[in-house]
Structure 1
């Protein structure tokens, strides 16, 4: 069974037929916008690297893990060599600025790379993956000197980057962080404190590691208003840009984790480490959101990766595994039993994985388009609209896609039966690796509060209306298309209900603020199901049009329509339960007194 095969046909459909990526890129004021031929070439080369180099190392990374000895971290066999191939091919520089050695290709291509690399080996992909957020933060908030000092080597990939937020006593509540930064005579800062859960915080794959660190100045106000942001390199960089002495930031230990064993998740101790302020004093959290939003969209891709990988492995197994006979008669009469793909319940599991993987890809690539517009468009109105759409869709993509990615990874084990529970097939690793995606970069609950509280209710529904208006326009455009009515009717109904449920929660929250927290996760999942319904309806519309063409790949487009039908009839109805639970209110959650929670 193959480790991973990049789904080039599916990627091509989403890019060029559903979202019109070639026209999208040509519409932006880019000096050399890539055409379809160039895009396909890039994707094909990325697929070869992922399939031939990274995928075979996925199980190796899981079995060996990273090794820690006296603060030195060694990555699994083959990881370092694969990274060297990665930088020699120029992949790290692809979407970054030419003045720092980048290739100036659109940011959306990074999304494609993240999917292909992440599906092949998510733990490996985290090493260069976090560097992109580091670079974006430096480019957006750094001084010219800081950019010149750090970006050329980060863009080249010879240095990597991290984000350092979490501390032992505080996770999401960053207002509680204790790491201190004190101004020194030379204008630098001495940082003291401990950070935990730092992905790729120490390793042997790059010459230097640039940590982006949240810390508090001595006279800072309490809470999140008193947080500043600092650059803390593993090795001090001299005026000539050369690496100098080792900084006083050291890996105290590696976390013993459920999954992603191939990535070094570190405890980092800052013992008077030299750091440099980035951005204004006490405005560090706002600056760090540049990094965090990049990471959240990256984590959404992780959900897609686990759904896709689980589906690929499940499908291959279901075609080969012989068990029992079909209830409607033997489908493999020459064999002792039928392949399990003939059984309805196996079909249910396969189609669920397929629908979440392909639907998640549509959402992720659409978000990547909006990111392009915010970065490159010279139309202020278009940029503002894209920013608003991204603000709404980022928490939906991060949380919904990781939740459904985990569900898909779990279904893969179920498809394999007992064989899925043992290591040799790789599906239990896929499940373990996927579980972290719902936790880091803000848990599902945190994303849900961000969506409902900050993005929707705080804007009095205006941010939501921007997206629901798009859905409404799509439904209106297809109102007379008889073949689309099975999709349009349900989508239109849910789109209207989305607004009604939002108003219901908003009014309830005026009486009791806990109503927001009580409804938030269900609201986010509801939003995710409706969002994917929109993209599946669009996919069905494209497929129906293509089927009318003489030279169409009829099997491919018919599969799109059947998967859309499955999504609308089997997955979208989950919203019925979510509406009931949202409207049930906070009372059933908060009525039980704290002291009555007991196990004895």
Structure 2
């Protein structure tokens, strides 16, 4: 964790100038000392309560004993320590029991938990759930549900997918009908009865907290009793596992939400992942089947509300992918420094009587380590940059806040998808460096790869993120978000071109940006979405590589200004690696985008 801490310190203070955030009224009580104290606390909890049990929670998966889901004691202890640290409400107002901590610092501090054991987790969904309710919930819903999530009494989920629909929310069939003639009179919100099934619900059943607050998407039937097709009829509901009163106290009644099964996955095995049945009648409330749910916001606006949580979750998934990539990098770096094997190239290596060298002395091992460093540290910088935009959105000037909002819209698909692809590749390289040992459970890198493989699917697959990027984000508000991003990239280019050591990289980035711009126009030249989006994923890969090259060049400017040392040398080398080995890849990706190539889209299924 020491390497991560020094990297975070550099990115936060030397690059992002996070210490200056205390000049803003909301953060005026803070200083670098208080920021460091938060980082110290989280690093300690992660080291003591999370890291020693990462293998344990992987091998002792959650299981259902017929009444409740059983988890290792270590998971309970870790979650309790996290809640007691105050990190659940760290970014909230003082009046909410929070610290008014910048999100930039909160995101950085949470990185330690992802590095130590992403499978135990740091209550990402609980915070996202509560934050959504603070924006869209009633005062009573905030008091009863959100604040009890922030203090650790309750935990939260998001329930979107259904077994038959997957990621296609248009096709969900969970329905919600008003519960009685006085359904609007309940102090907790308009009361409905829900019936349906939800799949892939992380933390959907456990005994870690007093209650679980499910946020559930469901459709309210129209006057004819039929569900409205598409997403227009979707509403959002609070469905607690256990019924509560208007003061947030449990009333001893179980809601009609039943565990239908646990999903046993490739990775994240320490997290319960569930299939939930809502309203099947196993736990009838007042003698009636149907899970009791309370409307959030207005009817038929559920998707708009839920996207508040989904965007937070996507940045969180990207950060989890980063930390797994870095965990593998640190493990393989340590292994490479200590594993003797083979002899050097050249005349000296031809003498078999000479002792073997450590594998870090081999050029190809250095290549794989440098690739991991460039992926992991570059993606970490991207996630922290996005976190800084969140703070700008909430505390900046009106113009700065709106710019930050638009930049986040464009960057969120990249912040989720790029680390989930390339930090997974870093994990693969970590296994390669370990050789045959990398495939065994004697070393942690195989678990890091398994845990990270899920992130390409978590919170929207690559295809969904790519379609969102090329089909919506780069076009929204007449392309203003893309123009803002290009402006930031060009500002970095202008600064870097003045530094002789960075000028060639600045020119390469300028050329890449021009290629992305031209490909964006070419993709939409016919105005037909089927033409433009046929190669949305290659577009996103090229777009993401261009963004990461920009991030690395900007970081390199800060590194170049730092004192000489191994850390400075390593950061500049990682930047050069990315420009020399990775950025040239975008040409092939953008070629199929610009040509609107239909090789994949046009192939009839029988040809497969």
Structure 1-normalised TM-score?
A: 0.94
1:530-573, Cα deviation, whole Å (9 max, x unpaired) = 11111111122222222xxxxx3522212211111111111111
Looking at structure 1, the residues matched to 28 and 205 of structure 2 have their Cα atoms a distance apart, in angstroms, of: 37
Looking at structure 1, the residues matched to 27 and 11 of structure 2 have their Cα atoms a distance apart, in angstroms, of: 24
1:37-92, Cα deviation, whole Å (9 max, x unpaired) = 22122112211111121011110010011111225111124111221222222222
1:248 maps to which of 256, 262, 267: 256
1:229-261, Cα deviation, whole Å (9 max, x unpaired) = 000111111133211211111211100211111
User: Cα–Cα, structure 1 residues 470 and 96, in superposed 2: closer, same or farther, change >3 Å?
Assistant: same
1:49 aligns with 2:57: no
User: Cα–Cα, structure 1 residues 334 and 61, in superposed 2: closer, same or farther, change >3 Å?
Assistant: farther
Is the 2:534–2:596 Cα contact (8 Å) retained in structure 1? yes
Matches within 5 A, 1:107-186: 107-125=103-121, 128-185=123-180, 186=182
1:382-431, Cα deviation, whole Å (9 max, x unpaired) = 11100000000000110111101111111111111110101120111111
For residue 558 of structure 2, give the secondary structure of its aligned residue in structure 1. helix
**Stretch moving more, 151-160 or 209-218:** 151-160
CA apart distance, 1:477 = 2.8
1:177-216, Cα deviation, whole Å (9 max, x unpaired) = 0111111124211111110100000112111110000011
Looking at structure 2, the residues matched to 247 and 501 of structure 1 have their Cα atoms a distance apart, in angstroms, of: 52
Which aligned segments of 4 or more residues in structure 1 are displaced greater than 6 angstroms?
331-335
The match for 1:257 is 265
User: Cα–Cα, structure 1 residues 31 and 460, in superposed 2: closer, same or farther, change >3 Å?
Assistant: closer
CA apart distance, 1:588 = 1.2
For residue 588 of structure 1, give the secondary structure of its aligned residue in structure 2. coil
What value does the CA root-mean-square deviation take over the aligned residues?
1.8
**Stretch moving more, 458-467 or 418-427:** 458-467
Matches within 5 A, 1:165-314: 165-185=160-180, 186-187=182-183, 188-219=191-222, 221-244=228-251, 245-271=253-279, 272-314=290-332
Looking at structure 2, the residues matched to 17 and 429 of structure 1 have their Cα atoms a distance apart, in angstroms, of: 33
Looking at structure 1, the residues matched to 153 and 275 of structure 2 have their Cα atoms a distance apart, in angstroms, of: 23
Looking at structure 2, the residues matched to 177 and 166 of structure 1 have their Cα atoms a distance apart, in angstroms, of: 7
The match for 1:101 is 97
Looking at structure 2, the residues matched to 330 and 451 of structure 1 have their Cα atoms a distance apart, in angstroms, of: 53
The match for 2:511 is 493
The match for 1:358 is 377
The match for 2:583 is 572
Looking at structure 1, the residues matched to 300 and 18 of structure 2 have their Cα atoms a distance apart, in angstroms, of: 40
Looking at structure 2, the residues matched to 251 and 305 of structure 1 have their Cα atoms a distance apart, in angstroms, of: 31
Looking at structure 2, the residues matched to 64 and 151 of structure 1 have their Cα atoms a distance apart, in angstroms, of: 31
2:541 maps to which of 522, 525, 547: 525
Looking at structure 2, the residues matched to 37 and 64 of structure 1 have their Cα atoms a distance apart, in angstroms, of: 39
**Stretch moving more, 436-445 or 323-332:** 323-332
Unmatched segments (≥5 aa) in structure 2: 184-190, 280-289
1:80-121, Cα deviation, whole Å (9 max, x unpaired) = 122122222222221123333222212223311332111111
Looking at structure 1, the residues matched to 27 and 261 of structure 2 have their Cα atoms a distance apart, in angstroms, of: 46
The match for 1:549 is none
Is the 2:471–2:529 Cα contact (8 Å) retained in structure 1? no
CA apart distance, 1:459 = 4.0
1:393 maps to which of 404, 411, 418: 411
For residue 400 of structure 1, give the secondary structure of its aligned residue in structure 2. helix
Looking at structure 2, the residues matched to 405 and 180 of structure 1 have their Cα atoms a distance apart, in angstroms, of: 39
Q: Number of residue pairs matched? A: 584
The match for 2:394 is 375
Matches within 5 A, 1:294-443: 294-328=312-346, 336-377=355-396, 379-443=397-461
The match for 1:22 is 19
Looking at structure 2, the residues matched to 233 and 307 of structure 1 have their Cα atoms a distance apart, in angstroms, of: 35
Is the 1:93–1:157 Cα contact (8 Å) retained in structure 2? no
Looking at structure 1, the residues matched to 55 and 513 of structure 2 have their Cα atoms a distance apart, in angstroms, of: 43
CA apart distance, 1:372 = 0.9
1:88 aligns with 2:84: yes
For residue 585 of structure 1, give the secondary structure of its aligned residue in structure 2. coil
The match for 1:592 is 603
Matches within 5 A, 1:437-516: 437-507=455-525, 509-510=526-527, 512-516=528-532
Looking at structure 2, the residues matched to 497 and 571 of structure 1 have their Cα atoms a distance apart, in angstroms, of: 15
CA apart distance, 1:584 = 4.1
User: Cα–Cα, structure 1 residues 108 and 346, in superposed 2: closer, same or farther, change >3 Å?
Assistant: same
The match for 1:73 is 69
**Stretch moving more, 360-369 or 38-47:** 38-47
Is the 1:181–1:215 Cα contact (8 Å) retained in structure 2? yes
1:313-366, Cα deviation, whole Å (9 max, x unpaired) = 110011111110111465999973111111111111111110011101111111
**Stretch moving more, 435-444 or 243-252:** 243-252
Is the 1:303–1:406 Cα contact (8 Å) retained in structure 2? yes
Looking at structure 2, the residues matched to 478 and 240 of structure 1 have their Cα atoms a distance apart, in angstroms, of: 57
For residue 276 of structure 1, give the secondary structure of its aligned residue in structure 2. strand
For residue 342 of structure 2, give the secondary structure of its aligned residue in structure 1. coil
Structure 2-normalised TM-score?
A: 0.93
Is the 2:516–2:590 Cα contact (8 Å) retained in structure 1? no
Looking at structure 2, the residues matched to 129 and 311 of structure 1 have their Cα atoms a distance apart, in angstroms, of: 24
